[in-house]
Amino acid sequence: MTHTLEEIARIVDGQMFGPGDLIITDAVPAGDSGTSAITFAESDAYLKFVENSDVAAVLVGKEVESSKPHIRCDDPRKAFVRILATLIRELPLASGIHATAIVSQDAVVHSSARIGPYCVIERGVVIEEDVRVYPFCYIGEDCRLGKSCRLFPHVTLYQEVRLGDRTTVHAGSVLGADGFGYYFDAGMHKKIPQVGGVVVGDDCEIGALTAIDRAMAGDTKIGEGTKLDNLVQIAHNVSVGKHTVMAAQVGIGGSSRIGAYNVFAGQSGAADHVATPDASQFGAGTGVTRDILEPGGYMGRPVTRPVAEERRIMAAMTKLPALIRRVRELEEEVAKLKREQQK
């Protein structure tokens, strides 16, 4: 990035205070150094970090002043995101289909799509316009990639995986592997055939090394706008509502129904065959083992209480040693009083 302060003010639709010809070449978090960088401050604490750094300029709120060259805007964080967007560099990928890629004659690949080295595209695949498939990806039979999808290196789509428009799947993820289904018979675990598919909506993002299993029958479904972090496990026949967010190491058990606009913090998850309502949040490490009936924030393993109540209990537990000592002292005092009365 190389912009003047004046150009950045136009990008973020803000009001500039400082030299318009100041050159900005980078963007950094508040408190980091960067003599030609810009940052943002959405609170007094952030602004204090900025004032004590050598950063060149700062994005602030409408009524905020700074000793640094600054730009006032409605929302400094959102304005900073707009600047970050100018820094994006897509991984290089030549146009067309690379000579080392293996593409079935029965696949349909739009002329604007880019297929990288050593990719394999099986029969029945449909790849729409402006799709980018980076090196070493495997796209199995009857998969479909919507417009402007991005598959980063080493993504595997087994069979009948359908991705909506503008959906991104990051490196090493596997979509459409068999669900974990077995039944016990004659002293051994026997496999339940997994013959369904995976449907991912528009504008989704699937993190690196995440797994979404194919359905036993029917489809495993990920709603539009949903974002999955790295190392997330979605089991067979799960349905995840639109615009839900799941952080790293979340696991959702088979046939669960996750509502729209849910938030699952790191290492939280749900058992199989449970349901959560729309607009619900689950704290880090929370385990959902039963249906949740009311929207809200929950915490616990298993989840049993609203977040506020669980936090009060966690805080109280730090006082348990002192409380136990106090109870023992009181028991000793009561015992002493009883002995004196008996005399």
Active site residues: 236
DSSP string spanning 140-192? -TT-EE-TT-EE-TT-EE-SSEEE-TT-EE-TT-EEEEPP--EEEETTEEEEP
> What is the C-alpha to C-alpha distance for residues 52 and 67, in angstroms, rounded to an integer?
10
How far, in Å, CA of 260 to CA of 73, rounded? Answer: 31
Q: What dihedral angle (degrees, nearest 10) is formed by the CA atoms of 13, 18, 20, 21?
A: -140
Residue type, 66: S
Longest CA–CA separation in the chain, Å = 102
Residue written as token pair 């695949």: 125
Supply 232's token pair: 């997330």
68: left (phi over 0), alpha (psi -120 to 50) or beta: beta
CA distance 295 to 302: 17
Helix or strand (DSSP H, E) at 298: strand 297-299
- Side-chain-side CA neighbours of 206 within 13 Å: the count stands at 35
Burial class (CB in 10 A: 0-12, 13-18, 19+), 206: buried
